[in-house]
Amino acid sequence: MAGPSSSVELRDGRVRTLDGLAAEAGASLVGTAGMAMLGPRFPLLAKLIDAAEWLSLQVHPDDELARDLYGPQAVGKDEAWVVLEAAAGTRMVVGPARTLSAAEAMALVAGGAMGLESCEVRPVRPGDTLDVRAGTIHAIGPGAFVYELEQPSDLTFRISDWGRPPTPERRLHLAEAARAVEPSLHAELAGTGWRLDGGALNGRRIRLELVASGTAALRRPAGRSPEVVTAVAGPVTLAGAGFREQLAPLETAVLPAAVDACEIVADDGAVALVGSLPR
């Protein structure tokens, strides 16, 4: 996982958190876009999710609602999923059933009565990418191994935990969810077969690019955004002025915004997932 509280090893051997480094380095790490968005805080979170059973049915707030509920430093959560592995029959919840009216969907959310039969459920395959905006009802199904790129937020409102008993650490958030849900939103398929439609997923708060079995130079305005690079299904090499790093499968590296240029090489069968801030 790479995110604000993640510990990272610097080239000089020191171990720090990304937020700690951002507080010291400012724009040289997070870029001008990062400073404009969140100030000296690391603006991205990348993680891996291995689902053995249905994860909770949930929704995330947008920035406006997060700050209304939790104060000016709170952050909402737009996210993107890349399906790395999927067992036969693996499915995802990508929104409310399209047969429901907005009022019907909201009543089910507020009453804690939304189940799979009330949801749009999509089969997924390895290489599928989905754009999941804040306000979208969603859930990851069993058999899925997923890379998730998102805003650096832990705000998750559970609508259902599929009958599992609630605990203080894992409770439902029906009132908050009712404020966060946008019933017209559905997670949108942004690419299949390890390719993204239009070459990149350029969302409101995150940008995702894929380099599959080939070489690519990062094309970005220098100093604007950091990149979070994760190797999938094989090794990936990062090379730039004065550095060369090889990432083993599922390893992640953070490229500071101050890095002038970088070439990414994904060996045969490998994929590099590159998260950054939108342009």
Residues classed as catalytic: 158
Q: Is residue 234 left, alpha or beta, with left meaning phi > 0 and alpha meaning psi from -120 to 50?
A: left
* Dist. CA 264–CA 279, nearest whole Å: 20
106, 113 contact by CB (below 8 A) = no
What lies within 8 Å, CB to CB, of 234 at 6+ separation is 249, 266, 267, 268, 269, 270, 271
Sign for the CA dihedral angle at 24, 27, 31, 34 comes to positive
11: which 2 tokens? 């080239």
* Dist. CA 181–CA 127, nearest whole Å: 27
Amino acid occupying residue 264: I
